[in-house]
Amino acid sequence: MPPTRDKSVTSLCVSFLLVSTLFLFGPLNLYLTNIAEFRATFSQLCPFFVAAWAISFILLTSLLLTLKSSIYEKAISLCFAVGLLLWIQGNILVRRYGLLDGREIDWDAQAVSGVIDVTLWITVIIAAFFASSLCARIVRQASLALILIQLISVALLIPQGRGKPGSHNPVANEEPIFNFSNEHNVIILVLDSLQSDYFREIINENSYYKDIFKGFTYYRNTVGGYPFTHAVVSLMLTGRYYENTVPYDEFAKEVFSSDSLPKILKKAGYQVDLLKNEDLALFYVDETIASHLGSLRHLIGERIFREEGVIVEAGFLFDVTLFRYLPHTLKRKVYNNQKWFFATLCFEKFIQESPANQYVDAWRYRVDIEFIRKMAQIAKPDSDRPTFKYIHLWIPHPPPRVNEHLKYEELERSRDGYKRQTRGALNLANMLLEALRRMGVYDKTMVFVLADHGYGQRIEMGEHTPGKDANLKISPLDKMKGAAYPLLLVKPFRATGELRVSDAPVSLSDVAKTVLSELKLDGEIPGASIFSMRDSDSRSRRFLFHNNERVYIGKDYYLAPMEEYIVSGPVWQDESWHPTNRAFAHDGVKYLPPRDR
């Protein structure tokens, strides 16, 4: 048995490595590299992790110190082996599993990774067990080395942390948010991810959903600008494409501060309210650009988040840490079809209307529903200024977890499951439209009901076969076309009659220009008025395809390289898609070798 002092120091070092990797270094690493994804600050989350770290550290160290010499060496070697494996898994064997935002993970594509991970873990643990005498002599120095490496790694990431997670501006006076003008209103309602062909199918099956949108035109041939939300918000409100030439924050400041739709409307005397479920960092706002920039989560009750939501985010951060640091075979258990594990345990109290078997994104659904319900109940036509409201909801973003009655339900990941959630989103939109009718301002309001992008599923333009799986293996082109196919419904001022359908070649980049054209306001905004387009027009539209990763250069970030495509016909036809063989990366334009479509 080693001397008491040596045993104590060794036990402290090994325990610190193992426990700190899971409860300090791992969470800090993930938080600092994904700070915009969190609503809570790390100082709010820190007490949970410090408490977990302290309890685990004291228990593990005490256990090691009480072991007899006959098993101490093996125990200390095994603990070090686990700490080493966690570090390797979380920092070296880091693999891409796609977005952890509700979309299905292709676990089969990582089958080889599972074999590698299992082999590594079994080999290292067996070696530590049978070579414990040798291992016990080096674990102290090796543990200190790994602790130092992780300390340096986290220290280098600290400048990257911007200090404004889930950036939001609290609204001191909420009343104007729920007020409209009795004469002039413009609303852009974003239903995140709603793919256009799902809407087409729904209105063909049930005329009720067609009747909701009296006076609207459904632009069936709309192309989005990007496959994910990040750059689409600025595209819709400024008409300008982000091409990775500068960090995104610089781009947002530049385009929102120049001739952007919010700035022009604010200058023209409008009350300008920009409201989003979360991630308000996508906007740049000062007093000349918007009256309010608000988080929907804040508007429906900061107290709820402060008292309960921080606990949920702490659980979610630990889940994501486990997902990264555990071997492939255990990641699926932690992910649990986006329900996660610890976040679900914390979440049961947070959303009391939902069943106990919940997952972390359900609070976003609650925020959307409660906000629109509140607006429908208390909205008044009392504003003494014309109003512009940009309202960005999370519903019906994957996974399908809200049914047509806006109740939480674990729906199948099939086309029918997504359609049920889509119907729920349309019913939510109808609440807002009914509020406008109740106030007598429906005719005096121009309304856009649109999506920022599609689900990324195969576009179905023919008859749908019930039960068809939305996640069947489909081609990359089919996925891209689905992501590029957002819903676009527009109701001009004083428009009446049945829902119209148009195949005019339009783009989300036309939204800002359309509003200015209708209001007869001047501004140097690219794009064309949607209302000037005819079905027979021939027009090339642009789409920049990328994954949802960010490239950090110091504290600034860019988006992943974006491949450019030109769409010259109906978005759902393969023949309409033409790659330009250009990719826009943070370090310049890359020219790609030509390839088959």
Give the pLDDT confidence of 513-570 residue by residue, as tens digits. Answer: 999 999 999 888 999 999 999 999 999 999 999 988 888 787 788 999 999 999 999 9
Interior CA angle at 451 toward 223 and 232, to 5°?
Answer: 70
The string of pLDDT tens digits covering residues 318-353 is 788 888 888 887 877 777 766 676 666 665 544 444
- The answer to whether position 167 is within a domain reads no
- The answer to whether position 170 is within a domain reads no
Helix (H, G, I), strand (E, B) or coil at 314: helix
Claim to verify: residue 367 and residue 222 sit in the same structural domain = yes
pLDDT value at 2 more than 60: no
- The answer to whether position 168 is within a domain reads no
Distance of CA 77 to the CA centre of its chain: 41
- The answer to whether position 596 is within a domain reads no
Claim to verify: residue 352 and residue 211 sit in the same structural domain = yes
Average pLDDT over residues 170-184: 75
Q: pLDDT band at 18, cuts 50/70/90?
A: confident
**pLDDT for residue 347:** 55
**pLDDT for residue 1:** 41
**pLDDT for residue 358:** 42
**pLDDT for residue 170:** 44
Q: pLDDT band at 32, cuts 50/70/90?
A: confident
User: Which of 89-103, 252-266, 280-294, 336-350 is the most confident on average?
Assistant: 252-266
Claim to verify: residue 323 and residue 401 sit in the same structural domain = yes
Residue 395 · residue 365 · CB < 8 Å: yes
pLDDT value at 310 more than 90: no
**pLDDT for residue 348:** 53
**pLDDT for residue 99:** 60
Full domain range(s) for residue 154: 4-160
Of 511 and 548, the structure prediction assigns the larger pLDDT to: 511
Mark which of 106, 129, 160 sits at the end of a domain. 160
Claim to verify: residue 215 and residue 130 sit in the same structural domain = no
* CA dihedral angle for residue 134, residue 136, residue 140, residue 142, rounded to 10 degrees: 40
Claim to verify: residue 129 and residue 214 sit in the same structural domain = no
Average pLDDT over residues 68-82: 82
Q: Give DSSP secondary structure letters for 437-456.
A: HHHT-STTEEEEEE-SS--S
pLDDT value at 100 more than 70: no
Average pLDDT over residues 452-470: 73
Measured distance CA(33)–CA(93) in Å, rounded: 17
**pLDDT for residue 217:** 97
Phi, psi of 397 (to 5 degrees): -55, 145
Claim to verify: residue 292 and residue 364 sit in the same structural domain = yes
- The answer to whether position 48 is within a domain reads yes
pLDDT value at 167 more than 50: no
Claim to verify: residue 230 and residue 112 sit in the same structural domain = no
What's the CATH number where 194 sits?
3.40.720.10
Query: What amino acid is encoded at 96 in this protein?
Result: R
**pLDDT for residue 270:** 95
Mean pLDDT for the chain?
Answer: 84
Q: Give DSSP secondary structure letters for 267-298.
A: HTT-EEEEEESS-GGG----TTT-SEEEEHHH
**pLDDT for residue 102:** 56
Domain count, the chain: 2
pLDDT value at 490 more than 50: yes
Of 357 and 96, the structure prediction assigns the larger pLDDT to: 96
**pLDDT for residue 351:** 46
The string of pLDDT tens digits covering residues 199-247 is 999 999 999 999 999 999 999 999 999 999 989 999 999 999 999 999 9
pTM (2 d.p.): 0.74
**pLDDT for residue 487:** 98
Question: Cα separations (Å) of 173 from 169, 199, 294, 299, 386?
Answer: 12, 36, 11, 10, 18
Of 240 and 78, the structure prediction assigns the larger pLDDT to: 240
Of 116 and 481, the structure prediction assigns the larger pLDDT to: 481
Of 391 and 70, the structure prediction assigns the larger pLDDT to: 391
Kindly state the DSSP code that residue 548 receives in the 8-state scheme: S
- The answer to whether position 597 is within a domain reads no
Claim to verify: residue 401 and residue 485 sit in the same structural domain = yes
Measured distance CA(591)–CA(597) in Å, rounded: 16
**pLDDT for residue 172:** 44
Of 172 and 430, the structure prediction assigns the larger pLDDT to: 430
Of 173 and 525, the structure prediction assigns the larger pLDDT to: 525
| Percentage of the chain modeled with pLDDT above 90 | 43
Measured distance CA(338)–CA(316) in Å, rounded: 11
**pLDDT for residue 511:** 97
Of 147 and 204, the structure prediction assigns the larger pLDDT to: 204
Q: Which residues pair with 543 in a beta bridge?
A: 565
Tell me the two tokens of residue 120. 């590594």
- The answer to whether position 491 is within a domain reads yes
Claim to verify: residue 182 and residue 152 sit in the same structural domain = no
Q: At CB < 8 A and 24+ separation, what contacts does 546-553 make? A: 546/226, 546/227, 546/228, 547/98, 548/99, 548/101, 548/227, 548/228, 548/230, 551/585, 551/586, 552/33, 552/160, 553/247, 553/586
Measured distance CA(563)–CA(70) in Å, rounded: 61
pLDDT value at 81 more than 80: yes
Measured distance CA(83)–CA(336) in Å, rounded: 24
Question: Cα separations (Å) of 241 from 225, 541, 562, 576?
Answer: 8, 12, 11, 21
pLDDT value at 122 more than 50: yes
- The answer to whether position 166 is within a domain reads no
Mark which of 104, 136, 160 sits at the end of a domain. 160
Query: What amino acid is encoded at 220 in this protein?
Result: R
Average pLDDT over residues 380-400: 92
Task: For 58-122, give the secondary structure using H, E and C.
Answer: HHHHHHHHHCCHHHHHHHHHHHHHHHHHHHHHHHCCCCCCCCCCCCCCCHHHHHHHHHHHHHHHH
Average pLDDT over residues 302-326: 70
Mark which of 129, 160, 191 sits at the end of a domain. 160
Q: Which of 109-118, 120-129, 206-215, 489-498 has the lowest mean pLDDT?
A: 109-118
**pLDDT for residue 211:** 94
Claim to verify: residue 336 and residue 260 sit in the same structural domain = yes
The string of pLDDT tens digits covering residues 346-376 is 655 444 444 333 444 566 788 888 889 989 9
pLDDT value at 293 more than 70: yes
Nearest to 48 by CA among 333, 296, 317, 273: 317
Claim to verify: residue 115 and residue 218 sit in the same structural domain = no
**pLDDT for residue 549:** 82
pLDDT value at 466 more than 80: no
Claim to verify: residue 143 and residue 220 sit in the same structural domain = no
